[in-house]
Each structure stands twice: as structure tokens, then as C-alpha cells.
Structure 1
């Protein structure tokens, strides 16, 4: 399949019954500013562009939301249990981005999409959700070009300083995505800039 734009990516997700079931399950929780992000979207794109006939297993399905009124981490665990009761075979991970800046030692995020924009790689900085009418929406603060052209690039936030550049480079090494998706082109940060 040839992916050329956001419409193609949305159609790819719509055609995947498992992904739509996952999205519908999260939508039932009616979380504020929720998205399913990162590998959930990226891996589907990369699997498709590698002509894989089976889904690459996900270590987790990242559900994020933004609720400044309740920053208690125990709420996230409760939500994971609720989702597990709906789809028990899904490795759920739920995080409230209104508090995640503390864990990541960053200034507060303003929304879930703001948090997605500060993920390490542009190809991972993607999210999908169903709106109130059931329409599928894609969040791609850095666009989809890198994801559909199989490029791993740092987001601007991770290119900005040496410490974050090291985090990006460490992730590239640890994730070893090229051992699964052999067509990937990894862009390294030169001299931490």
C-alpha cells in the first residue's frame, strides 16, 4: 500500500478492525483530550510499508489524556483496569499528560497534542482518536512525512540540547527498530545540535 498523506493514514487505521476496536474502547471512557499515540500509529504505518502480513507486537498501547483537575497516578491504573476489562489482550498504558511533565522534568504541557509534539521522534509523535461524532482524527504535530518515508528523525525539542539529544540517540540504540523494519533510515544528531 502506498501512503502519501494524512487521509491515507486515517484510511489505513479505519480498515484495521483491531485498531478501531481499541479506539472505540478508549472512547467509551470519555476522557478529556484523549489520544492513542506513538507505536500504535507508527508501527501500523511501518508494518504496512514493509508489506508485513502480521502486526508487529506492541509492548504497550499508549493512551494519553489531559486532565489538570486530577493528577493522581492511581487514576491511570484504574483506567487501565477498566480498559483491560473491555479488551483484556491489549497491553494498556494510560497516562495523564497534565502530570507527565513532572516525570520528564519539563515545563507543563498545555494539552495532549503539546505532549505528543515533545515525543523524541517525529515518526512517533502521532496520535489518533475518535471525536464525539465517531470520526477518526489524526494528530501529527510534526507532520507524517517522516513516518511514511520511513525516516527516524528527532523532534525539534530533542534537537535543541545535548541532554535530550542523548536521550534520542539512546532510544534509537535501545529500540533497535531497524532490526524489525529494515527499510528505516535513522537520522542521528550530530554533536548534540
Structure 2
């Protein structure tokens, strides 16, 4: 089984997307979510060519920006540099406002609130052309062929996402993992 860095390095489209994001020099700037999750699941299902990405989720953390306008400006810049990507840019320093949480302290902290544990993964290309991976949980989860509920988010949001995303149709070996809270009677 290939490790995650090898999978990314061997995908020219993902490498080009990473170079594009690196060119913006974003504070805590990463590509996250399906960018890595889908790559591993494709590998584990022997899917070639790779499943097309619905979008490229760019996350960063900057407490000095003024909201969605800056995210849209960054998306436009990314589209200009790499027009074949459908870019979605979100400043994680502001996302607590939409989610009803206390302010996040970093990209990693923000990811710890995402609905699925396997989605809370991100990568960036460093100046020395090495990859840096971050996750709020464990990179090993990607290889377990599960989609796991993060108890920091409601179970209903998780179930809705599993249903609407169709992950088990694309990757039929996936198992949904829900840990029910202990209820004492």
C-alpha cells in the first residue's frame, strides 16, 4: 500500500494545485478534505483514472482579513493561475461564526470540528518541495475505509452529508462509523 506522500507526488494534477496554493503564501495555507480523502479511497478501491474532484478546498488561518470578500479574491487568483481547478477558499479563523463555536485558534483546531474525521486532513507543499500533512485526528483513518462521525458536530449533519455526498456509491467498500454516546438510565 502506498503512503500518502507517494500518492500525492504521483498525481500531477494535485501537485500542480499544491504549487498554485503555495504561490499565494497563505498563513497556514493548505488544501484539505476530498483532495486527500478521495485520493486514498480511490487507491484502496483501485480506481483509475482517479475520481474527479468536485472542488479544491483551500483553507488558511488569518485573523486580520475581513471575511468572504478576501476568500473570493483568493479564489479568483487561484482560478487565474490554475483555471482547471474549481477553487473553494475558506479562512478558518472566521468559520466559527458560521458554525456557532468558540473562535478557532488554528487550522488544526478548526478541522477538529468538521463533521467527518476522515475529511479533517490537509496538505501543503513547502518551499523545499516536501509535503506537510496535518489532521485533527489521524492520517491512518483514511486507510480504514470508514467514514466516521466527529462527535463535535451533530449526528444529523453527519448523516445528511453521508447521504448527499454519495460516498458509498463511489467507494462501495466504505463503512459508516457512528459511535453512539453512552446513555445511562
Q: Which segments of 5 or more consecutive residues in structure 1 lack a partner in the other structure?
A: 159-163
**Mapped contact 1:37–1:64 kept (Cα < 8 A):** yes
Q: Among residues 140, 152, 155, which one is paired with 2:150 in the alignment?
A: 155
Q: Where in structure 2 are the equivalents of 1:60-71 lying within 5 Å?
A: 60-71=55-66
User: Structure 1 residue 188 and structure 2 residue 178: aligned?
Assistant: yes
Q: Which segments of 5 or more consecutive residues in structure 2 lack a partner in the other structure?
A: none
Q: Where in structure 2 are the equivalents of 1:36-47 lying within 5 Å?
A: 36-47=31-42
CA distance in 2, matches of 1:80, 1:177: 26
Query: Can you list the C-alpha shifts for 1:34-74, whole angstroms capped at 9, x where unaligned?
Result: 11000000000000110011121222110011110113211
User: Structure 1 residue 112 and structure 2 residue 114: aligned?
Assistant: no
* TM-score, normalising length: structure 2: 0.93
Q: Among residues 126, 134, 137, which one is paired with 2:129 in the alignment?
A: 134
Q: Among residues 12, 30, 36, which one is paired with 1:17 in the alignment?
A: 12
The structure richer in helix per residue is 1
CA distance in 2, matches of 1:30, 1:18: 19
Count of aligned pairs: 183
* TM-score, normalising length: structure 1: 0.89
CA RMSD of aligned residues (A): 1.6
Counterpart of 2:160 in structure 1 is: 170
CA distance in 2, matches of 1:185, 1:51: 17
Moved over 2 A (4+): 131-134, 188-193
Query: Can you list the C-alpha shifts for 1:157-192, whole angstroms capped at 9, x where unaligned?
Result: 23xxxxx12111111111121010001011134379
- Structure 1 residues 147 and 43 mapped into 2: Cα distance closer, same or farther (>3 Å)? same
CA distance in 1, matches of 2:121, 2:41: 13
Displacement of 1:147 in angstroms is 1.2
